[in-house]
């Protein structure tokens, strides 16, 4: 295949990824609870430093030319910036895969990365995880070069990419652990030269971080407060609004598989995950004979996986975003695993049948992604708003139930007091009440968690209309909405004539 044809294939994959990542990315600002704050920071040139500010700086730079003032327009612009980085992740995955897989199968990895649901959907949100993932992969590419050629260019390139990863999210600092273990994972001729070069790499990374995050010198107290807050989240868990309590999920009780079961499998599909795990096990069993690149990638996956798995911080509704940095490498492992299994099959018929299975399993993520992005502008919360408006109900809603919530959680409200104020309906979101259902199954939680669960169960004893997503809930999109009728029985009977559907646990789905 000619070089021109290869570039055309890569360009098609990139543009396809970009199209998928930008499709329906103009959904209403507020469905993702963090985005309004990000938009405010971009407009006001401020920040709270709970995350480093590379994403804010990039969107500000782009908006300097776009000159958008409207909040929704700025949100869509920021999402488009993230979508571009999401497409670039597919290109980076190709470059990482090529040395061990060859160009042909590296295209498969790039296509799989471009169509993976967890990456596609999160490329629609103005959050830091996609940018972090791109610069982590870029750092891995520079590390591969640094190991082969430990010179000034490699040192500077590795330092800049690492500094930008840390400027995307504080967890980017974990990359230095991988660099320090390089001599253990890879046989090096001159380990001292390698380690000396890492000092220069660290200096360049620190300078890169400071260039991006220079406002820390202007507002050191804000930086320390934001950094301390994020550190508490990592070590203790996220506080849930005014409740100030969180569900703490212990890694040991979950057998270190919480993110595997709840984040990775839904995010890349089951068979793709199984292929990746098969290669993971295969590589461990033949460790000495494995490519040194695979050893580094395995260490990267384990480090970033256990960093989030061991932390009690698994905040609902979208804890899956913490696992995104390892997803492209897992997809690379999946292609390697499928190839390894295929090589072990001796009969042509078995190989054909297995190739059909692989083709189907690698196509499923694209189907999932297309279904999910199709419904981003068909959100259940918009349908709930229409029901409320048409029936002229006086409502109170919790977070993730409407664009603007009245309270963080309905479990904090007194039903009779709200009735006395004229409230007729509560609006509940599965993104809130499902976390308490999960927490109720766990031991050693704060009593507030169990009490909130009991309050929700009490609420759900009242009649309600349930609005289900057209396909399914994913990340911050399309929660199940329950419109709960808290009026007394006589009031409900009197008002039932104007309601458009029976309020008795009735389920609605387009």
Question: What is the per-residue pLDDT for 248?
Answer: 84
**pLDDT one-digit tens code per residue, 257-314:** 999 999 999 999 999 999 999 999 999 999 999 999 999 999 999 999 999 999 887 8
Mean pLDDT of 424-453: 93
What would the 3-class secondary structure string for 127-176 be? CCHHHHHHHHHHHHHHHHHHHHCCCHHHHHHHHHHHHHHHHHCHHHHHHH
Mean pLDDT of 344-350: 87
- pLDDT for residue 79 is more than 60: yes
Confidence of residue 8 (pLDDT cuts 50, 70, 90): very high
- The more confident residue out of 439 and 510 is 439
Mean pLDDT of 106-114: 97
Question: What is the per-residue pLDDT for 210?
Answer: 97
- The more confident residue out of 2 and 227 is 227
Q: Is 321 helix (H, G, I), strand (E, B) or coil?
A: helix
Q: How far apart are CA 124 and CA 7, in angstroms?
A: 26
Confidence of residue 462 (pLDDT cuts 50, 70, 90): very high
Q: What are the structure tokens assigned to 416, written together?
A: 């009779």
- pLDDT for residue 243 is more than 60: no
Q: How far apart are CA 232 and CA 372, in angstroms?
A: 33
Q: How far apart are CA 135 and CA 172, in angstroms?
A: 9
Q: How far apart are CA 165 and CA 168, in angstroms?
A: 5
Q: Is 506 helix (H, G, I), strand (E, B) or coil?
A: strand
Let me know: does 302 contact 281? Beta carbons within 8 Å: no
Confidence of residue 492 (pLDDT cuts 50, 70, 90): low
In which residue are the tokens 């461990």 written?
284
Q: Exposed (0-12), middle (13-18) or buried (19+): which is 107, by Cβ within 10 Å? A: buried
**pLDDT one-digit tens code per residue, 178-213:** 999 999 999 898 999 999 999 999 999 999 999 999
Nearest Cα residue to 307 out of 320, 322, 328: 322
Question: How far, in Å, are 13, 106, 276, 278, 436 from residue 8 at the CA level?
Answer: 9, 14, 28, 32, 49
Let me know: does 77 contact 66? Beta carbons within 8 Å: yes
Task: List the Cα angle 65/69/71 in 5-degree steps.
Answer: 120
- The more confident residue out of 235 and 118 is 118
- State whether the Cα torsion 488-492-494-498 is positive or negative: positive
Confidence of residue 236 (pLDDT cuts 50, 70, 90): low
Nearest Cα residue to 418 out of 467, 483, 464, 485: 485
Residue 145: CB atoms within 10 Å: 14
* 423 CB-near residues (< 8 Å, 6+ apart): 394, 395, 396, 486
Question: What is the per-residue pLDDT for 2?
Answer: 67
Strand-pair partners of 474: 477
Q: What are the structure tokens assigned to 86, written together?
A: 């999401």
- The more confident residue out of 284 and 506 is 284
Nearest Cα residue to 233 out of 313, 314, 168: 313
Q: What are the structure tokens assigned to 244, written together?
A: 């100030």
Q: What are the structure tokens assigned to 248, written together?
A: 């703490």
Strand-pair partners of 427: 397, 483
- pLDDT for residue 496 is more than 70: no
Q: How far apart are CA 302 and CA 326, in angstroms?
A: 9
Strand-pair partners of 485: 425
Question: What is the per-residue pLDDT for 504?
Answer: 43
- pLDDT for residue 419 is more than 50: yes
- pLDDT for residue 235 is more than 70: no
- pLDDT for residue 507 is more than 50: yes
Share of the chain above pLDDT 90, in %: 79
Q: What are the structure tokens assigned to 99, written together?
A: 């040395």
Strand-pair partners of 396: 426
**pLDDT one-digit tens code per residue, 358-389:** 999 999 999 999 999 999 999 999 999 999 99
Mean pLDDT of 26-47: 93
Q: What does 91-112 look like in DSSP terms, one character per residue?
A: HHHHHHHHHHHHHHHHHHHHHH
Confidence of residue 502 (pLDDT cuts 50, 70, 90): very low
Question: What is the per-residue pLDDT for 362?
Answer: 96
In which residue are the tokens 């190739």 written?
355
Question: What is the per-residue pLDDT for 240?
Answer: 46
Mean pLDDT of 23-28: 95
Q: What are the structure tokens assigned to 230, written together?
A: 């994020």
Task: List the Cα angle 263/108/264 in 5-degree steps.
Answer: 5
* 457 CB-near residues (< 8 Å, 6+ apart): none
In which residue are the tokens 């104020």 written?
421
Question: What is the per-residue pLDDT for 234?
Answer: 66
Question: What is the per-residue pLDDT for 510?
Answer: 43
* 212 CB-near residues (< 8 Å, 6+ apart): 52, 53, 54, 57, 163, 164, 167
Question: What is the per-residue pLDDT for 498?
Answer: 43
Q: How far apart are CA 484 and CA 84, in angstroms?
A: 41
What would the 3-class secondary structure string for 244-313 be? CCCCCCCCCCCCCCHHHHHHHHHHHCHHHHHHHHHHHHHHHHCHHHCCHHHHHHHHHHHHHHHHHHCCCC
In which residue are the tokens 């709970």 written?
50
Question: What is the per-residue pLDDT for 495?
Answer: 60
Q: Which long-range contacts (CB under 8 A, 24 or more apart) does 282-288 make?
A: 282/337, 282/340
Query: Strand pairing of 506-508 and 464-467?
Result: parallel
Confidence of residue 58 (pLDDT cuts 50, 70, 90): very high
Nearest Cα residue to 494 out of 424, 427, 428: 424
Mean pLDDT of 31-48: 93
Share of the chain above pLDDT 70, in %: 93
- The more confident residue out of 343 and 300 is 300
The mean pLDDT of the chain is 91
Mean pLDDT of 149-165: 97
Strand-pair partners of 467: 481, 508
């Amino acid at each position: 295949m000619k070089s021109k044809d290869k570039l055309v294939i890569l360009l098609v994959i990139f543009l396809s990824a970009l199209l998928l990542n930008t499709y329906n990315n103009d959904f209403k600002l507020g469905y993702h609870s963090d985005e309004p704050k990000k938009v405010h920071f971009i407009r006001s040139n401020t920040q709270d430093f709970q995350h480093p500010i590379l994403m804010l700086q990039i969107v500000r730079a782009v908006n300097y030319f776009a000159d958008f003032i409207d909040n929704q327009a700025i949100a869509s612009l920021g999402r488009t910036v993230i979508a571009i980085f999401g497409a670039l992740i597919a290109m980076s995955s190709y470059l990482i895969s090529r040395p061990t897989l060859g160009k042909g199968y590296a295209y498969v990895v790039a296509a799989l990365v471009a169509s993976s649901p967890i990456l596609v959907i999160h490329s629609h949100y103005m959050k830091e995880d996609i940018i972090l993932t791109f610069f982590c992969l870029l750092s891995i590419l520079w590390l591969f070069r640094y190991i082969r050629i430990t010179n000034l260019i490699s040192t500077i390139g590795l330092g800049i990419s690492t500094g930008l990863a840390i400027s995307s999210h504080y967890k980017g600092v974990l990359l230095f652990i991988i660099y320090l273990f390089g001599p253990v994972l890879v046989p090096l001729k001159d380990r001292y030269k390698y380690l000396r070069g890492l000092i220069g790499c660290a200096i360049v990374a620190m300078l890169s971080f400071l260039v991006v995050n220079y406002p820390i010198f202007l507002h050191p107290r804000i930086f320390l407060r934001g950094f301390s807050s994020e550190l508490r989240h990592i070590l203790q868990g996220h506080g849930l609004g005014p409740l100030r309590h969180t569900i703490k999920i212990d890694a040991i009780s979950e057998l270190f598989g919480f993110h595997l079961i709840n984040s990775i499998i839904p995010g890349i599909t089951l068979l793709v995950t199984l292929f990746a795990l098969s290669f993971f096990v295969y590589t461990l069993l033949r460790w000495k004979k494995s490519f040194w690149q695979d050893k580094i990638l395995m260490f990267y996956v384990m480090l970033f996986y256990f960093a989030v798995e061991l932390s009690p911080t698994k905040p609902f509704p979208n804890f899956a975003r913490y696992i995104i940095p390892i997803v492209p490498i897992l997809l690379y492992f999946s292609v390697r695993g499928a190839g390894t299994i295929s090589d072990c099959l001796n009969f042509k018929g078995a190989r054909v049948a297995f190739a059909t299975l692989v083709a189907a399993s690698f196509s499923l993520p694209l189907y999932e992604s297309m279904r999910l992005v199709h419904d981003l502008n068909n959100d259940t919360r918009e349908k709930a708003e229409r029901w409320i408006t048409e029936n002229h109900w006086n409502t109170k809603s919790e977070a993730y139930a409407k664009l603007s919530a009245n309270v963080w959680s309905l479990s904090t409200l007194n039903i009779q007091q709200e009735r006395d104020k004229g409230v007729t309906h509560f609006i509940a979101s599965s993104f809130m009440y499902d976390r308490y259902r999960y927490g109720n199954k766990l031991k050693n939680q704060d009593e507030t968690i169990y009490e909130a669960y009991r309050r929700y169960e009490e609420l759900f004893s009242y009649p309600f209309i349930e609005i289900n997503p057209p396909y399914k809930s994913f990340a911050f999109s399309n929660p199940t909405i329950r419109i709960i009728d808290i009026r007394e029985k006589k009031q409900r009977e009197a008002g039932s004539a104007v309601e458009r559907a029976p309020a008795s646990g009735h389920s609605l789905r387009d």
